[in-house]
A and B are shown apart, each in its own frame.
Chain A
């Protein structure tokens, strides 16, 4: 996650800061506001709004206009104070840029070191205090007065001053300030800069040692879809390099088309990092460990990476103690950011991890100031636990329970790679006695499918294994294609392991239904049209290594020739029209309704962490037996439902599944439209008292079979 925005964007979001502030402030009484525009998820809703038209709630502006009114009302004094910094002066966006870029290294340094900080060098201290002053009391009064131009100007001035100060006093600063950190870090930075041309660093969310004084501010920025770091921007790259822990060396012969993505030579930096493992101040050991595991590829797969990261954070939170003169919510956010930037250096974040981080930071910012440190920590840890449990583990269970209904006896289920959810689905279906066969399609260079194959065979599931090239051959046999996803973007495209798109395409061409299983926490409001703009580049050398060593000699010294490139793409984009159905923990939906889930999911993120997901899922599963909680009712709201209905016939079944949610039952006219492509259902059967569920499931079965 990259918090820095290019200037045009920050300037374009003129209304954002104020609107965001509304969100944060009102969040004290979130449940009270049912209207979508009330936006407790303000940062999110807003940022999504900026990107995707589907999610722009029209009444945003009026809302924010009268929003300051409720501010003082619900918030107790202490809380409002905590919110103050979180609703920083409007200059925030540009300030943030400055802050996160280079300058305020003082803070985290200090906070991260366990001992209380020694005296800060003069300019930094001043900056710190100045900022604090500006933050706390002035934020409200000052905000309306400053125009953006003014803010911008002050911002520039500050930045210039800081840059000058930094240049002048960096070394002395380093020595004088925190001995612990600086001593260990200084030689490293020197080394890094020496190697500058060779090294490269990932998006500087906030470096390990530099973090902004405005964590909530930064945090807010993270909530939106970030403009990612573009690695063809030499300036940024150089900046980022300065702060790297991981000395990534750039791969040779980079592909022109992918200049904007980081491409590293792999395997070089691991020993170096391992040797640093016992430097206690560098990074929290658990985070460090996870980072190394990412780097070496020991942990892969969206869920595994996300869980490992969250557990590491949990441990780090456990060991955390707020430094003196710091506020936990801000300092911890900063620290998390530094962790994140380290992890990014090890391997670019997956979208699911980004979402998890966003969640965690949100929880941190929302901590009531009244809590003691230990209480806050406990609360955060339970939040993390709950996230892992609800969003991943239980979500997977729900997905499995949905997906299993789509498996019939004598099915041939094709899958690609080794998605963890799909494996669970197969296991479960096997356990409940369904007879089916699995086709595992695999591809180079990782050959993850072999692991899946081995596990499935060990469980007694009959498997066929083949490479992706043979997918057209094997697709004749398949009756269903189950695919995993790294993320589902709000235009319905599926961002997943490279090759997924090909498999889905071939399945589409052969008329085999494609079911993509993805936990809702992996959904993202970003949109993407091709696999080039955002992707991850793997180790190019992995391509030259051929199993069996047959022809590896052909590519032996490929890097010697500048015309020779190897490209190891990690992800690709599956267009939504190849996807027949998405199976999420919110039920089964057509890909067109992803934006709804994204929006509702965000809301839940902010409001409804208290609502028992399990309970709700139970409701979804046992339709007609009880009612949904009110706040969930809008999950499949009326604007979206006709949209789904209008979808192709092949998607009707998933719409029908949707339709069996209480909202659908409440809206017979939509259900009617849903049913018409099938020609069998009448709206009456959708009425709550009607015998609705069984014909539905049958119908969906029929459609899937076709």
Chain B
């Protein structure tokens, strides 16, 4: 699809450069992008429209998911500061400053730069701006950044915004559902012969029938998805094809012949509407969540939160608007200090707010009635990927038997089961958040005999909270316990989309 490719690569670039951050924004933009992908997708006359569409989405999705921000790939492995000689080499990338310091020989192997003069002049203490580096790169030979990244990449690290993958999977699921429902409607239409061929676009009359069909497909899908038979059936061939084939059975040929073109148009239309609904859902996820605030927050409650989450903010606002008076302790969430922002916002609404350092969480939690935090992603096992430091808070809450409540929209539900999430689903940011390079320039020249740097700085972004530490999830569909998450996720995703990859064969 050459026509969407610019859009896609633009978004990929944005993701890489971390121009888009936060799961809400990412989810929304991904959905929008996929909507345009779907709308610009030219429906061929092939037998499996849905499969083709799904493939198109999958192709884009793959690119998006692969668009891991460059800097984290670098920093995660390098832990940033390593210095061997005086010749140091700084490297700025994307919107986020990240430093890579490598020695002369490594630099040569990496970059094949004929002259290292520039690099020699550059000292660690001198914090160089992006402009300088850009100039440096342009003046030096053509550096294949992508190549460099792939070399530096830690294989297996996939710490991208999980929301991208979530949305791609959601869209795939939507396509599948719509396909099934349209086939079902097709059967219906064929048997009852109500709908004319051309009027498929008008949604009014068959709306209820459609929704019923969606429900039916939903149920069917939900029932089918985990079964061994479907798994065995689906995996060898393109899943969507076999699904439609198996679900429609013998009437398949008939329905296709009946209204091939119109059903194609309808499918596309339906998918686009459904994606539009998804976007709406992402946008409005705060409302159903914050509606539950009054039921969870009582008068004079003392609440602790860490960092800033828009969902938490809306949740607390909602409680405040319902005339609940409560106090909030906000742990600041170093090194990004988003807690300060949240505290300010809460104070503006008249909530009694106390900012504490992250280190004081354990001391204060004994006086706290409830911990309410946001999440970056909720994994299928009920674990939470959240702001760094959250595990500490959750452990402290467990120690003092304080309920640990996670509020998150359903777009943060991720159908993956985490493995070693602290490392694999994490993202290491620039050490400049923690250490001032200028101050520590004198410590940079040390190294051990084997060449590894003496000074490492670790600045992870996320923390993994295991499900046993979470008391409650509040999503836009209500409150759930961690053990229920897998079921909730099964409603949103189909099992065969867990790995978003183009089927090379089909």
Residues on A lying within 8 angstroms of B by beta carbon are 255, 257, 442-445, 450, 453-454, 457-458, 460-474, 476, 497-499, 501-502, 505-506, 509, 530-532, 535, 543-544, 546-548, 550-551, 554-555, 558, 561, 563-569, 571-573, 575
Contact = CB atoms under 8 A, between A and B. Distances in A.
A501 B426 CA distance: 25
B456 A465 contact: yes
Contacts of A554: 337, 340-341, 343-344
B347 A561 contact: yes
Contacts of B399: 505, 575
Residue among B332, B362, B423 with most chain A CB within 10 A: B362
B360 A550 contact: no
A563 B351 contact: yes
Interface in B343-400: 343-344, 347, 350-364, 366-367, 387-389, 391-392, 395-396, 399
B452 A502 contact: no
19 contacts: A442-B434, A445-B357, A460-B448, A464-B458, A466-B458, A466-B459, A468-B389, A473-B422, A476-B422, A502-B359, A506-B395, A543-B357, A554-B341, A564-B343, A567-B329, A567-B360, A567-B364, A568-B360, A575-B399
Contacts of B79: 464
A443 B358 contact: yes
B436 interface: yes
Interface string B324-340: 00000100111101101
A569 B356 contact: yes
A467 B334 contact: yes
B157 interface: no
Nearest to A560: B347
Contact of B457 (A466, A473, A544): A466
Interface in B163-178: none
B455 A499 contact: no
Contacts of B388: 469-470, 473
Top 6 A-B pairs ranked by shortest CB distance?
Answer: A499-B359, A469-B389, A531-B363, A472-B391, A572-B363, A443-B359
Nearest to A568: B357
Interface in B416-435: 422-423, 426, 431-435
A569 B363 contact: yes
A468 B392 contact: yes
A565 B354 CA distance: 4
A677 B192 CA distance: 78
Interface string B442-482: 11001010001111111110011000000000000000000
Contacts of A535: 363
B440 interface: yes
B334 A443 contact: yes
Nearest to A474: B458
Given A444-B358, A444-B359, A506-B391, A470 B455 contact: no
Given A474-B458, A546-B337, A532 B367 contact: yes
Nearest to A476: B422
A551 B463 CA distance: 22
B2 to A, nearest CB: 42
B367 A505 contact: no
A473 B458 contact: yes
A563 B395 contact: no
Nearest to A462: B454
A575 B454 CA distance: 34
A111 B352 CA distance: 51
A563 B347 CA distance: 6
A399 B423 CA distance: 35
Residue among A476, A499, A550 with most chain B CB within 10 A: A499
Nearest to B420: A476
A119 B362 CA distance: 57
A565 B351 CA distance: 11
Nearest to B342: A554
B358 A468 contact: yes
A532 B366 contact: yes
Residue among A467, A498, A571 with most chain B CB within 10 A: A467
Given A469-B392, A563-B352, A450 B435 contact: yes
Given A462-B456, A564-B347, A569-B356, 11 more contacts: A257-B367, A454-B440, A457-B455, A463-B454, A469-B463, A473-B463, A498-B360, A506-B395, A544-B355, A566-B355, A572-B360
B188 to A, nearest CB: 54
Contact of A463 (B333, B347, B455): B455
Contact of B434 (A466, A472, A563): A466
A493 to B, nearest CB: 12
B454 A460 contact: yes
Contacts of B362: 499, 501-502, 505, 531, 572
Nearest to B389: A469
Contact of A563 (B350, B356, B391): B350
A642 B334 CA distance: 45
Contacts of B360: 498-499, 567-569, 572
A134 to B, nearest CB: 47
A530 B399 CA distance: 13
B435 A465 contact: yes
A457 B453 CA distance: 10
A569 B357 contact: yes
A565 B454 contact: no
Given A467-B358, A473-B458, A546-B337, A457 B443 contact: yes
A465 B358 contact: no
A633 to B, nearest CB: 39
Contact of B358 (A450, A469, A551, A566): A469
Nearest to B443: A457
A568 B431 CA distance: 25
A465 B81 CA distance: 11
Nearest to A561: B347
Contacts of B422: 472-473, 476
B77 to A, nearest CB: 14
B332 A472 contact: no
A501 B363 contact: yes
Contacts of B387: 469
Contacts of A464: 79, 456-458
Nearest to A571: B363
A563 B363 contact: no
A571 B464 CA distance: 27
B334 A444 contact: yes
Contact of A443 (B353, B357, B433, B442): B357
A470 B454 contact: no
A460 B454 CA distance: 7
Contacts of B358: 443-444, 467-469, 499, 502
Contacts of B440: 450, 454
A505 to B, nearest CB: 5
A548 B334 CA distance: 12
Nearest to B302: A257
A472 B392 contact: yes
Given A453-B455, A462-B448, A463-B456, A567 B389 contact: no
A565 B456 contact: no
A261 B359 CA distance: 19
A551 B341 contact: yes
Contacts of A566: 354-355
Given A464-B456, A470-B388, A506-B392, A567 B443 contact: no
Contacts of B454: 457, 460-463
Contacts of A463: 454-456
Nearest to B436: A547
A444 B357 contact: yes
B396 A555 contact: no
Contact of B452 (A462, A465, A546): A462
Contacts of A531: 362-364, 366
A462 B366 CA distance: 37
A20 B458 CA distance: 56
A501 B357 CA distance: 13
B367 to A, nearest CB: 6
B402 to A, nearest CB: 13
A255 B363 contact: no
Given A498-B359, A565-B354, A551 B396 contact: no
